[in-house]
Structure 1
Amino acid sequence: MTWFVFSVLSVFALAVAELMQQHLLNLKNAFNARTSAVLTFLFQSILSIPLLFALGISDQISSIFNATVFPKIMIVSFLGSLAMIFYLRSFRVKSISISAIFISLSAVVSTFLGIIFFSESVSYLKFIGIALVLAAIIVVNYKNAILEKNNLYGLVAGIIFGILYTLDKSIVLDIHPLIYIFWSFFMLSLWGFVMGRKDVINSVRKKNFSAYKPIMASAVGYFLYNFFTFTAYRFGGEVGRIDAINNSQIFLIILFEFFILKHTKGIARKLLAASLAIAGIFILGFTR
């Protein structure tokens, strides 16, 4: 069950990172969404450097340059940049509810691919657990479910994310997660900059150091999320189960908003959804 411990840790890290990212994008004179993503990727890569030396694995930094791993990392960095574009476009709508539902379908894609490429388990309890998490996401968003053209970008992003998570597992089974984080997020940042350099340059222009602090804090959360997720893979976690569990981070945010921020609007529906998600997580974590 070690993989489950790391998976739960990754959910908490992701929830913190998402809360920081929401705060960041709502700040006055904030970076635009694309620039925020590019900088967050870059800071994650930078964060891995001291750990590579502290853990004595800096000599493995060139381990990606082999015929098995390097092509996968190039594919991940390119697809990740595309997914970021589709993800951001999917939220250019009056209501993001449908986009959130579509993006969560990555769990269906990763489950299917995990069964094919990693011979992961096929059991009705596993599928019930994943279905409960996805049902919870639908329950949270159903009242605002209005389909718009840009919502379909969320579906494309969800499919790509499912493919990416499968590739992530394939790669970290061959190299250390920190090596992967260093290279993949550096390349993601580079691709993101190249594909939207005007937006990035205009957004960072005349920003002082204090403007970067929230992004750095958010990057720490995302870094921990990725490290814990990749470590869970190495301890035998199934990509479909972990993807579904990670999708449940929104319910930690709901509980935070209810107990800390005292947001009570639609709380019955939200708590029902959180209960479904928690049930799904326990089924995924404690059954085979």
Structure 2
Amino acid sequence: MSKPYDLPSLGDLSCFECAARNLSFKQAAAELNVTPAAVSHRIKALEQELGQALFTRQYRGVELTEAGALLFVSLQRGFETISDGVARIRYRHDQAGVTIAATTAMSGLWLTPRLAAFWRAHPGIAISQMVQDGIVPVGPGAVPPDLSIHYGRPERESDETRVLFHDRILAVGSPGFARAHGIVAAADLLGVPLIHTLSGTLAWTDWREWFETLGWPPPEGPGFALNNYLISLQAAEDDVGAVLGWEGLVAGHLQSGRLVQLVPDAMISPCPFYLRIHAHASANARLFADWLVAG
């Protein structure tokens, strides 16, 4: 039975590549943790098999012959392909766990409360959260997330996306705030303190858009700008002002009574919260994505 590949000893080829890359038998020996004599022996064996000299031996070192240069380039290409394949296999092995990126608000209010149920159903899959409220540049060697959660237009993404929820936006505040300002209708909100969330690159729907959608003029009351939605909710709990609340995010606050829906009026959110499935997402990441969407 003939061999599928017409190759000399892989050990000899590896030794030759190291010597050719360093242009030194001595440096190759140090890299391979063998003696220079062993390197020389392997190179001679390879030259004998190929029937051609691969190096020109000189007093201060070695130089590649034309045949040696051709073999070196071929080996480099082959080893680079092998190295890339091995890296992919190692990466897929490391991806038994899943990394998901989300904002502080989305992580704290929606994602984290769901993780315990997922782990009960899939105890062998670890989930790592990458919490970020802006664009985090990915540098050399950094591993991008498998999944990420966004508020916006999923049709603008180049990757696969899944809608998580698309709900109403409510005006919410503390029970004490509602009583203190006598709030019963949307018109009562036009002059009261309002909390505005300005969180980095995240395009939160604002109060002006909320009032405009419901047919009211822009608010004229005092405003408090904060750059984190969780802090905005905390400020609302502390009677600082009213805040816009996405039903899918503030459900826990409403159920506990920490915040209440101030008026019956509500705006249908112009954008959904959606899941972006990055191109390199593993099978476990896709399983987690399916679970989140189904839940």
Q: TM-score range by the shorter chain?
A: under 0.3
**Structure label with greater radius of gyration:** 2
Higher percent of residues as helix: 1
Greater relative contact order: 1 or 2 (C-alpha under 8 angstroms, separation 6 or more)?
A: 1
